[in-house]
Amino acid sequence: MKLTIKIFGLLVFLTVEQIAFGQQDNYAKNTKLFEDEQARFESELKTNMDSAEVYWNHANIIAGFTFNVYKEAWQFYEVALSIDSSKVVYFIDYGKYLSEVMNYVYDAKVLYERGLKNFPSDQELKRALENVNSRIVKIEENKKLSSFGKAPTTGHPKATDYSKVTDFENLVEQTKNVKSEFYFNNLLDKFNADSNLTDEQVYMLLIGFTQQDEYRPYTQEPDEVYKLNNVGNFDEAINKAKELLKDNPLMPSLYKELIYAYRKKGNQTLADISLKKMQSILNAMLYTGDGTCEKPYVAFWVREEYTLLKYLDYKKTGAIYIGTCAGQQADRLEVTNLTTNEQTIICFNITMILKKQRGNK
Protein backbone atom coordinates (compact mmCIF):
# COMPACT_ATOMS: atom_id res chain seq x y z
CA MET A 1 0.00 0.00 0.00
CA LYS A 2 2.82 2.40 0.91
CA LEU A 3 4.55 1.64 -2.37
CA THR A 4 1.38 2.40 -4.35
CA ILE A 5 0.93 5.75 -2.58
CA LYS A 6 4.57 6.61 -3.23
CA ILE A 7 4.31 5.79 -6.91
CA PHE A 8 1.17 7.89 -7.25
CA GLY A 9 2.87 10.79 -5.49
CA LEU A 10 5.82 10.69 -7.86
CA LEU A 11 3.57 10.63 -10.90
CA VAL A 12 1.51 13.58 -9.63
CA PHE A 13 4.73 15.53 -8.96
CA LEU A 14 5.88 14.85 -12.50
CA THR A 15 2.50 15.79 -13.96
CA VAL A 16 2.25 19.14 -12.19
CA GLU A 17 5.73 20.24 -13.20
CA GLN A 18 5.46 19.20 -16.83
CA ILE A 19 2.04 20.75 -17.33
CA ALA A 20 3.13 23.93 -15.57
CA PHE A 21 5.85 24.41 -18.15
CA GLY A 22 3.64 23.41 -21.05
CA GLN A 23 5.91 20.54 -22.07
CA GLN A 24 3.21 18.16 -23.18
CA ASP A 25 5.46 16.14 -25.50
CA ASN A 26 8.12 15.66 -22.85
CA TYR A 27 5.45 14.91 -20.30
CA ALA A 28 4.00 12.10 -22.43
CA LYS A 29 7.45 10.66 -23.11
CA ASN A 30 8.58 10.88 -19.52
CA THR A 31 5.35 9.46 -18.19
CA LYS A 32 5.76 6.45 -20.48
CA LEU A 33 9.33 5.93 -19.26
CA PHE A 34 8.22 6.20 -15.67
CA GLU A 35 5.23 3.88 -16.05
CA ASP A 36 7.25 1.24 -17.93
CA GLU A 37 9.95 1.22 -15.27
CA GLN A 38 7.40 1.18 -12.50
CA ALA A 39 5.64 -1.80 -14.06
CA ARG A 40 8.94 -3.65 -14.40
CA PHE A 41 9.89 -2.85 -10.81
CA GLU A 42 6.52 -3.94 -9.39
CA SER A 43 6.66 -7.15 -11.39
CA GLU A 44 10.05 -8.04 -9.93
CA LEU A 45 8.91 -7.15 -6.43
CA LYS A 46 6.10 -9.70 -6.63
CA THR A 47 8.60 -12.54 -6.78
CA ASN A 48 11.60 -10.91 -5.08
CA MET A 49 10.15 -8.64 -2.40
CA ASP A 50 13.22 -8.95 -0.17
CA SER A 51 15.84 -8.74 -2.91
CA ALA A 52 18.32 -5.87 -2.51
CA GLU A 53 19.21 -6.21 -6.18
CA VAL A 54 15.65 -5.35 -7.26
CA TYR A 55 15.77 -2.05 -5.37
CA TRP A 56 19.34 -1.35 -6.50
CA ASN A 57 18.45 -1.86 -10.19
CA HIS A 58 15.39 0.35 -9.83
CA ALA A 59 17.43 3.07 -8.13
CA ASN A 60 20.04 3.03 -10.91
CA ILE A 61 17.37 3.30 -13.59
CA ILE A 62 15.43 6.20 -12.12
CA ALA A 63 18.67 7.94 -11.13
CA GLY A 64 19.32 8.20 -14.86
CA PHE A 65 16.01 9.89 -15.64
CA THR A 66 16.16 13.56 -16.61
CA PHE A 67 12.90 14.52 -14.90
CA ASN A 68 12.05 14.92 -11.23
CA VAL A 69 11.66 11.25 -10.37
CA TYR A 70 15.47 10.95 -10.29
CA LYS A 71 15.41 12.86 -6.99
CA GLU A 72 13.70 9.89 -5.34
CA ALA A 73 16.32 7.28 -6.24
CA TRP A 74 18.06 7.64 -2.88
CA GLN A 75 15.16 5.91 -1.12
CA PHE A 76 15.61 2.76 -3.18
CA TYR A 77 19.39 2.75 -2.68
CA GLU A 78 18.74 2.97 1.05
CA VAL A 79 16.36 0.01 0.94
CA ALA A 80 18.90 -2.02 -1.03
CA LEU A 81 21.62 -1.34 1.54
CA SER A 82 19.29 -2.04 4.44
CA ILE A 83 18.64 -5.49 2.98
CA ASP A 84 22.19 -6.29 1.93
CA SER A 85 25.31 -4.22 2.64
CA SER A 86 27.73 -6.92 1.56
CA LYS A 87 28.10 -5.73 -2.05
CA VAL A 88 30.55 -2.94 -2.72
CA VAL A 89 28.78 -1.96 -5.95
CA TYR A 90 25.79 -0.75 -3.94
CA PHE A 91 27.99 1.76 -2.12
CA ILE A 92 29.74 2.82 -5.31
CA ASP A 93 26.57 3.43 -7.32
CA TYR A 94 24.77 5.16 -4.46
CA GLY A 95 27.80 7.36 -3.85
CA LYS A 96 28.00 8.37 -7.52
CA TYR A 97 24.33 9.28 -7.41
CA LEU A 98 24.78 11.44 -4.32
CA SER A 99 27.94 13.20 -5.49
CA GLU A 100 27.44 13.47 -9.25
CA VAL A 101 23.68 13.57 -9.76
CA MET A 102 22.47 15.30 -6.60
CA ASN A 103 25.73 17.11 -5.79
CA TYR A 104 25.43 16.00 -2.16
CA VAL A 105 29.16 15.59 -1.61
CA TYR A 106 28.99 15.61 2.18
CA ASP A 107 26.43 12.78 2.15
CA ALA A 108 28.56 10.90 -0.37
CA LYS A 109 31.57 11.25 1.92
CA VAL A 110 29.65 9.67 4.81
CA LEU A 111 28.48 6.84 2.55
CA TYR A 112 31.96 6.10 1.16
CA GLU A 113 33.44 6.07 4.67
CA ARG A 114 30.71 3.66 5.70
CA GLY A 115 31.50 1.48 2.69
CA LEU A 116 35.21 1.44 3.47
CA LYS A 117 34.48 0.04 6.91
CA ASN A 118 33.05 -3.00 5.13
CA PHE A 119 35.55 -3.01 2.25
CA PRO A 120 38.74 -1.34 3.58
CA SER A 121 40.91 -2.38 0.63
CA ASP A 122 38.55 -1.47 -2.21
CA GLN A 123 40.43 0.93 -4.51
CA GLU A 124 37.36 2.31 -6.28
CA LEU A 125 35.81 3.34 -2.97
CA LYS A 126 39.10 4.92 -1.90
CA ARG A 127 39.34 6.93 -5.12
CA ALA A 128 35.73 8.02 -4.80
CA LEU A 129 36.32 9.20 -1.23
CA GLU A 130 39.46 11.08 -2.27
CA ASN A 131 37.46 12.78 -5.02
CA VAL A 132 34.66 13.99 -2.74
CA ASN A 133 37.18 15.06 -0.10
CA SER A 134 38.92 17.17 -2.73
CA ARG A 135 35.60 18.73 -3.75
CA ILE A 136 34.75 19.43 -0.12
CA VAL A 137 38.08 21.24 0.39
CA LYS A 138 37.26 23.50 -2.56
CA ILE A 139 33.71 24.06 -1.32
CA GLU A 140 34.96 25.06 2.14
CA GLU A 141 37.57 27.35 0.60
CA ASN A 142 34.91 29.04 -1.54
CA LYS A 143 32.66 29.43 1.49
CA LYS A 144 35.40 31.37 3.26
CA LEU A 145 36.18 33.47 0.21
CA SER A 146 32.53 34.33 -0.41
CA SER A 147 31.58 34.85 3.24
CA PHE A 148 30.17 38.26 4.13
CA GLY A 149 29.82 37.60 7.85
CA LYS A 150 26.87 37.25 10.16
CA ALA A 151 24.34 39.81 11.27
CA PRO A 152 25.47 41.73 14.37
CA THR A 153 23.67 40.99 17.62
CA THR A 154 24.62 44.25 19.37
CA GLY A 155 25.39 47.85 18.51
CA HIS A 156 22.71 48.27 15.85
CA PRO A 157 19.42 49.51 17.38
CA LYS A 158 16.17 48.98 15.51
CA ALA A 159 13.87 51.74 14.29
CA THR A 160 11.56 52.57 17.18
CA ASP A 161 8.41 53.27 15.17
CA TYR A 162 7.61 50.92 12.29
CA SER A 163 4.85 53.16 10.97
CA LYS A 164 7.37 55.95 10.47
CA VAL A 165 10.05 53.79 8.90
CA THR A 166 7.48 52.62 6.33
CA ASP A 167 5.89 56.01 5.67
CA PHE A 168 7.54 55.89 2.28
CA GLU A 169 6.04 59.03 0.77
CA ASN A 170 7.33 61.14 3.63
CA LEU A 171 10.73 59.43 3.57
CA VAL A 172 11.07 59.98 -0.18
CA GLU A 173 10.37 63.68 0.22
CA GLN A 174 13.13 63.95 2.81
CA THR A 175 15.65 62.42 0.40
CA LYS A 176 14.70 65.00 -2.24
CA ASN A 177 14.98 68.00 0.10
CA VAL A 178 18.36 69.70 -0.35
CA LYS A 179 18.20 71.03 3.21
CA SER A 180 17.41 67.64 4.75
CA GLU A 181 20.06 65.62 6.59
CA PHE A 182 18.87 62.72 4.43
CA TYR A 183 19.31 64.44 1.06
CA PHE A 184 20.15 61.63 -1.37
CA ASN A 185 23.12 63.16 -3.21
CA ASN A 186 24.88 64.07 0.03
CA LEU A 187 24.36 60.65 1.52
CA LEU A 188 25.58 58.94 -1.65
CA ASP A 189 28.75 61.06 -1.69
CA LYS A 190 29.46 60.07 1.90
CA PHE A 191 28.77 56.40 1.18
CA ASN A 192 31.07 56.40 -1.85
CA ALA A 193 33.76 58.14 0.23
CA ASP A 194 33.60 55.29 2.77
CA SER A 195 32.25 57.55 5.50
CA ASN A 196 30.74 55.89 8.54
CA LEU A 197 26.99 56.24 8.06
CA THR A 198 24.43 55.11 10.60
CA ASP A 199 21.98 52.34 9.76
CA GLU A 200 19.26 54.98 9.49
CA GLN A 201 21.32 57.05 7.06
CA VAL A 202 22.02 54.06 4.83
CA TYR A 203 18.33 53.14 4.95
CA MET A 204 17.41 56.64 3.82
CA LEU A 205 20.05 56.38 1.10
CA LEU A 206 18.29 53.23 -0.12
CA ILE A 207 14.95 55.06 -0.04
CA GLY A 208 16.45 57.85 -2.14
CA PHE A 209 17.92 55.37 -4.61
CA THR A 210 14.44 54.00 -5.36
CA GLN A 211 13.68 57.38 -6.97
CA GLN A 212 16.55 57.10 -9.44
CA ASP A 213 16.13 55.78 -12.97
CA GLU A 214 18.91 53.28 -12.28
CA TYR A 215 16.87 51.52 -9.60
CA ARG A 216 15.78 48.14 -11.00
CA PRO A 217 14.48 45.80 -8.27
CA TYR A 218 14.50 42.73 -10.49
CA THR A 219 17.92 43.24 -12.08
CA GLN A 220 20.09 40.17 -12.65
CA GLU A 221 23.31 42.15 -13.05
CA PRO A 222 25.18 40.30 -10.26
CA ASP A 223 24.87 37.12 -12.33
CA GLU A 224 27.15 38.69 -14.96
CA VAL A 225 29.89 39.07 -12.36
CA TYR A 226 29.21 35.65 -10.85
CA LYS A 227 29.76 33.98 -14.22
CA LEU A 228 33.14 35.66 -14.57
CA ASN A 229 34.14 34.63 -11.05
CA ASN A 230 32.92 31.10 -11.66
CA VAL A 231 35.35 30.59 -14.54
CA GLY A 232 38.24 32.26 -12.77
CA ASN A 233 38.22 35.57 -14.68
CA PHE A 234 38.70 37.59 -11.50
CA ASP A 235 40.17 40.71 -13.11
CA GLU A 236 37.23 40.89 -15.51
CA ALA A 237 34.84 40.25 -12.63
CA ILE A 238 36.32 43.15 -10.67
CA ASN A 239 36.10 45.50 -13.62
CA LYS A 240 32.54 44.43 -14.42
CA ALA A 241 31.39 44.82 -10.81
CA LYS A 242 32.96 48.28 -10.53
CA GLU A 243 31.27 49.29 -13.79
CA LEU A 244 27.86 48.08 -12.59
CA LEU A 245 28.28 49.73 -9.19
CA LYS A 246 28.55 53.13 -10.87
CA ASP A 247 24.84 52.94 -11.70
CA ASN A 248 23.79 50.56 -8.93
CA PRO A 249 25.99 51.44 -5.93
CA LEU A 250 23.80 49.89 -3.24
CA MET A 251 23.15 46.31 -4.35
CA PRO A 252 24.63 43.82 -1.84
CA SER A 253 25.08 40.98 -4.35
CA LEU A 254 27.40 43.09 -6.50
CA TYR A 255 29.61 43.69 -3.46
CA LYS A 256 29.44 39.98 -2.63
CA GLU A 257 30.94 39.10 -6.01
CA LEU A 258 33.51 41.89 -5.74
CA ILE A 259 34.57 40.65 -2.29
CA TYR A 260 35.09 37.15 -3.67
CA ALA A 261 37.12 38.36 -6.65
CA TYR A 262 39.35 40.59 -4.52
CA ARG A 263 40.01 37.74 -2.10
CA LYS A 264 40.89 35.39 -4.94
CA LYS A 265 43.35 38.02 -6.16
CA GLY A 266 44.80 38.31 -2.67
CA ASN A 267 43.69 41.92 -2.20
CA GLN A 268 42.25 41.73 1.30
CA THR A 269 42.26 45.51 1.79
CA LEU A 270 39.84 46.18 -1.08
CA ALA A 271 37.82 43.11 -0.12
CA ASP A 272 37.36 44.56 3.37
CA ILE A 273 36.23 47.92 1.97
CA SER A 274 33.58 46.19 -0.14
CA LEU A 275 32.60 44.01 2.81
CA LYS A 276 32.05 47.09 4.99
CA LYS A 277 29.75 48.61 2.36
CA MET A 278 27.82 45.41 1.85
CA GLN A 279 27.28 44.90 5.57
CA SER A 280 26.18 48.52 6.01
CA ILE A 281 23.40 47.96 3.45
CA LEU A 282 22.29 44.71 5.07
CA ASN A 283 22.38 46.30 8.51
CA ALA A 284 20.19 49.11 7.18
CA MET A 285 17.63 46.52 6.10
CA LEU A 286 17.81 44.93 9.55
CA TYR A 287 17.27 48.35 11.10
CA THR A 288 13.77 48.54 9.62
CA GLY A 289 12.13 45.64 11.47
CA ASP A 290 12.49 42.17 12.92
CA GLY A 291 11.21 39.94 10.12
CA THR A 292 7.83 39.27 11.72
CA CYS A 293 4.56 40.07 9.98
CA GLU A 294 4.16 42.94 12.43
CA LYS A 295 7.54 44.43 11.43
CA PRO A 296 8.80 42.96 8.13
CA TYR A 297 12.27 43.89 6.94
CA VAL A 298 12.05 46.45 4.14
CA ALA A 299 13.45 44.95 0.92
CA PHE A 300 14.61 46.81 -2.17
CA TRP A 301 15.54 43.88 -4.42
CA VAL A 302 13.88 40.47 -4.43
CA ARG A 303 17.18 38.59 -4.67
CA GLU A 304 18.55 40.46 -1.65
CA GLU A 305 15.89 38.89 0.52
CA TYR A 306 17.94 35.71 0.19
CA THR A 307 21.18 37.59 0.86
CA LEU A 308 19.75 38.95 4.10
CA LEU A 309 18.51 35.48 5.07
CA LYS A 310 22.05 34.15 4.71
CA TYR A 311 23.36 37.07 6.77
CA LEU A 312 20.88 36.01 9.47
CA ASP A 313 22.00 32.36 9.17
CA TYR A 314 18.74 31.26 7.55
CA LYS A 315 17.96 29.40 4.34
CA LYS A 316 14.68 29.26 2.46
CA THR A 317 13.39 25.72 2.80
CA GLY A 318 9.68 26.08 2.15
CA ALA A 319 7.07 28.03 0.28
CA ILE A 320 6.95 31.75 -0.51
CA TYR A 321 3.71 33.62 0.02
CA ILE A 322 2.73 37.16 -0.89
CA GLY A 323 0.32 38.73 1.55
CA THR A 324 -0.31 41.71 3.76
CA CYS A 325 1.83 42.53 6.78
CA ALA A 326 1.59 45.73 8.84
CA GLY A 327 -0.89 47.06 6.28
CA GLN A 328 1.46 46.72 3.30
CA GLN A 329 2.36 43.97 0.85
CA ALA A 330 5.00 41.54 1.93
CA ASP A 331 6.82 38.37 0.97
CA ARG A 332 6.54 35.61 3.58
CA LEU A 333 9.29 32.98 3.32
CA GLU A 334 9.43 29.66 5.14
CA VAL A 335 13.01 29.32 6.35
CA THR A 336 15.26 27.13 8.50
CA ASN A 337 18.05 28.31 10.77
CA LEU A 338 21.29 26.75 9.53
CA THR A 339 22.68 26.38 13.05
CA THR A 340 19.68 25.28 15.10
CA ASN A 341 17.51 23.78 12.31
CA GLU A 342 14.62 25.78 13.76
CA GLN A 343 11.91 26.51 11.21
CA THR A 344 10.14 29.86 11.08
CA ILE A 345 8.74 32.50 8.72
CA ILE A 346 10.63 35.66 7.76
CA CYS A 347 8.69 38.54 6.20
CA PHE A 348 9.83 41.30 3.85
CA ASN A 349 8.02 44.54 3.08
CA ILE A 350 8.09 44.83 -0.74
CA THR A 351 6.25 48.14 -1.11
CA MET A 352 9.11 49.98 -2.83
CA ILE A 353 9.73 47.07 -5.18
CA LEU A 354 6.08 47.02 -6.26
CA LYS A 355 5.95 50.80 -6.64
CA LYS A 356 8.81 50.65 -9.11
CA GLN A 357 7.30 47.66 -10.91
CA ARG A 358 4.05 49.57 -11.37
CA GLY A 359 5.84 52.67 -12.57
CA ASN A 360 5.16 54.65 -9.42
CA LYS A 361 7.82 56.42 -7.43
> Whole-angstrom Cα distance, residue 207 to residue 306?
20
Q: What is the DSSP string of 306-342?
A: HHHHHHTTEEEEEEEEEEEETTEEEEEEEEEETTT--
> What's the average pLDDT block by block, 10 residues per block, for the chain (361 residues)?
41 44 69 94 93 97 94 97 97 98 97 97 98 96 94 91 97 97 97 93 98 96 97 98 97 98 97 97 98 98 97 94 96 96 97 90 63
Report pLDDT for 24: 55
Q: What is the 3-state secondary structure (H, E, C) of 161-213?
A: CHHHHCCHHHHHHHHHCCCCCCCHHHHHHHHHCCCCCCHHHHHHHHHHHCCCC
pLDDT score recorded for residue 361: 63
What DSSP character marks residue 21? Answer: T
Asked if 98 contacts 109 with a C-beta cutoff of 8 angstroms, the reply is no
* pLDDT at 26 (0 to 100): 80
Give pLDDT, residue 279: 97
- Helices 52-63 and 88-96 pack at an angle, to 10 degrees, of 20
Per-residue pLDDT at 166: 98
Contact (Cβ atoms closer than 8 angstroms) between residue 269 and residue 237: no
Q: Which pLDDT score, from 0 to 100, does residue 153 have?
A: 85
> pLDDT, tens digit, for every residue of 146-201?
999 999 988 899 999 999 999 999 999 999 999 999 999 999 999 999 889 999 99
* Per-residue DSSP letter, 66: S
Domains contained in the chain, CATH given: 2-145 (1.25.40.10), 154-357 (no CATH)
- CB burial of 320-347 (b: ≥16 within 10 Å; e: otherwise) equals eeeeebbeeebbbbebbeeeeeeeeebb
pTM, entire model = 0.79
**What pLDDT is stored for residue 324 in this prediction?**
97
pLDDT value at residue 117? 97
Asked if 79 contacts 53 with a C-beta cutoff of 8 angstroms, the reply is: no
Of 314, 317, 308, the C-alpha closest to 349 is 308
